[in-house]
Chain A
Amino acid sequence: MLRLDGVTLNYGSFRALDGIGMHVKSGELVVMLGANGAGKSSLFLAVSGLRRLASGSIKVDGDEITGRKPSSIVQAGLVQCPEGRKLFPEMSVKKNLILGAYVYRNDKKANQRMLERVYGMFPILHGKRDAAAGSLSGGQQQMVAIGRALMGRPRVLLLDEPSLGLAPLIVKQVLEAVKAINEAGTTVLLAEQNAYAALQIAHRAYVIESGRIVMEGDRETLLGDERIRKAYIGA
């Protein structure tokens, strides 16, 4: 569903991504583990077309999306819920969600159904639908961000550190929502520092360090790996 080959990205003379090769199969929930600055966000921004690759190829469902505009990548079915949420802070929650369906703006009926689905998933957002998105708590803002991404009807959903800065109970809620989204048929690539929690819901995982994939495997392998336990779980 999503395949990266030799993806390389430079910021000036700094090589942020160095020949990344990875894939996510249809229906899978794959976790990208890595510390701060390992290259997770760079990778996600590159996949969404917000950073220009030095070399390499990115394919969605066999279609080459490398070098395409961000808007065209969203149309191809790959939607990202970015780190830091990047909401429209002074617009209402509802407006944020509606704009999430921007590429399907003419299909009002289906958008209304999607909106109901998002409210069903996060009932608190229905209560806050007229509040400015920037006035919500961190956890609620994260729900708006995930909801907004879902409104874009992703076939592949990229979630960049949705648990960042949230209280443990909220983290659990957010990750359960991610699991539910995946079980409803959306392919998910999830970047996380919170390795233990993320691995609980994942099928497979990659570990990224200094812009390189250093390990990959299924949940059990990584949970049992000594280095992973030391570096990312701390147990």
Chain B
Amino acid sequence: MNIFFQQLLNGLTLGSVYSLVALGLTLVYGILHIPNFAHGALYMVGAYMAFFATGSLGANYWVAMAASAAAVALLAVLSERLVFHRLRHAPPLHDMIAAIGLLLFLEAVIQAVWGADFRRLPSPYPQIVRAFDLTAPAQRLMIIAAAFGLMAGLHLFLKRTILGSTIVAMAQNREGAALVGIDATRVSMLTFAISGALAAVAATLFAPINLIYPAMGHLVIMKAFVIIILGGMGSIPGAIVGAMVIGFAESFGAFYVSTDYKDIIAFALLVLILSVRPQGLFTRGVR
């Protein structure tokens, strides 16, 4: 029972982190209609910003998370302004090449400053929570709570506020949005800022039970792509459900099959689900 519960908790933790990353990716896809390969680099930079804020500046964990979210949001907006906005009339392939260039550039910058070594971010809650014969690390519970809190907040923002609706409107009909006077530039910047902040928060939440290194974004972004393809490109509920599916598949797969195959499971699932439902699980999401 306890072991099963552990796997459930692990799956939920992984799913929570993947959701936050995949949500940012799917929001940007809804606006730009390109896959932003640089999103994994934003995640990585987010972890380093938190590491720098707690380690070198001695900031509190939560302050570091807020600072990291703000810094990465700014970085994401800059990437929109300096790179993607300028390519808006170019063929989509150019955006993809630019996104990969941005990914390599950010990794190189981080490696030049902090080196290629593995780093650790100390957990603010190293204790173990016990209840009904079950044990759970407090950090994992916090990840789940924070991620679900953020998702609920994002949902309310997109559904209930006019500002949030502009993002959904532009994803559903770009010209329709322009014709009611929604400024595409502002919506793009807002979307990038949100996606960057979500990536940074995900990285800061996950870092205490993981390692920080320049290539840490690779596997996460690959899985985030699997998730949004599974869930339907641009779909918000699809991103959350897809992330949970991958999170649980990984945690249970690692336990019942083998830890060695943990990272393959996501891709095996992708092949499996797409051969049955090529349009993804949720084709009618936010778009």
A105 near B162: Cβ-Cβ < 8 Å: yes
B284 within 8 A of A: yes
Residues in A75-111 with C-beta less than 8 Å from chain B? 75, 79-80, 82, 85-91, 95, 98-100, 102-103, 105
B180 near A152: Cβ-Cβ < 8 Å: yes
Q: Among A66-74, A169-177, A208-216, which stretch is in contact with chain B?
A: A66-74
Contact of A86 with B169 at beta-carbon distance under 8 Å, contacts A71-B183, A75-B181 already known: no
Residues in B169-198 with C-beta less than 8 Å from chain A? 169, 172-173, 175-185
Q: For the complex formed, measure the closest distance between the CB of A156 and the CB atoms of chain B, giving whole angstroms.
A: 13
Q: For the complex formed, measure the closest distance between the CB of A21 and the CB atoms of chain B, giving whole angstroms.
A: 24
Instruction: Give the contacting residue for A69; candidates B177, B183, B284; CB below 8 A.
Output: B183
Instruction: Give the contacting residue for B173; candidates A70, A74, A87; CB below 8 A.
Output: A87
Contacts of B162 in A (CB 8 A): 98-99, 102, 105
Contacts of B175 in A (CB 8 A): 50, 82, 86
Contact of A99 with B165 at beta-carbon distance under 8 Å, contacts A89-B173, A91-B172 already known: yes
Contacts of B31 in A (CB 8 A): none
A148 within 8 A of B: yes
Contact of A102 with B173 at beta-carbon distance under 8 Å, contacts A90-B284, A90-B286, A91-B165 already known: no
Contacts of A99 in B (CB 8 A): 162, 165-166, 169, 177, 180, 182
B182 near A102: Cβ-Cβ < 8 Å: yes
Nearest to B181 among chain A residues (CB) is A74
Instruction: Give the contacting residue for A88; candidates B168, B178, B183, B284; CB below 8 A.
Output: B168
A82 near B169: Cβ-Cβ < 8 Å: no
A193 within 8 A of B: no
Nearest to A76 among chain B residues (CB) is B181
Contacts of A49 in B (CB 8 A): 178
A140 within 8 A of B: no
Instruction: Give the contacting residue for B169; candidates A71, A74, A79, A88; CB below 8 A.
Output: A88
B180 near A102: Cβ-Cβ < 8 Å: yes
Q: Give the docked Cα–Cα distance between A102 and B162 (Å).
A: 8
Instruction: Give the contacting residue for B172; candidates A82, A88, A103; CB below 8 A.
Output: A88
Contact of A74 with B179 at beta-carbon distance under 8 Å, contacts A88-B172, A89-B173, A90-B286 already known: yes
Contacts of B284 in A (CB 8 A): 90
B181 near A152: Cβ-Cβ < 8 Å: yes
Nearest to A145 among chain B residues (CB) is B176
Instruction: Specify which of B175, B184, B286 lies most central, judged by the most chain A CB atoms within 10 Å of its CB.
Output: B175
A89 near B178: Cβ-Cβ < 8 Å: no
A186 within 8 A of B: no
Nearest to B183 among chain A residues (CB) is A71
Q: For the complex formed, measure the closest distance between the CB of A154 and the CB atoms of chain B, giving whole angstroms.
A: 11
Nearest to B284 among chain A residues (CB) is A90
Nearest to B286 among chain A residues (CB) is A90
Q: Which 7 A/B pairs are nearest by Cβ-Cβ distance?
A: A74-B181, A86-B176, A103-B181, A70-B178, A71-B183, A88-B172, A71-B181
If A85-B176, A148-B180 are given as contacts, then 8 extra A-B residue pairs at C-beta distance below 8 Å, sorted by A number, are A71-B182, A86-B175, A88-B169, A91-B172, A102-B180, A102-B182, A103-B181, A152-B181
CB pairs A–B below 8 angstroms (27 shown):
A69-B183, A70-B179, A70-B184, A71-B182, A71-B183, A82-B175, A82-B179, A86-B175, A87-B173, A87-B176, A88-B173, A88-B176, A88-B177, A89-B172, A89-B173, A90-B284, A90-B286, A91-B168, A91-B169, A98-B162, A99-B162, A99-B166, A99-B169, A100-B180, A102-B180, A102-B181, A103-B181
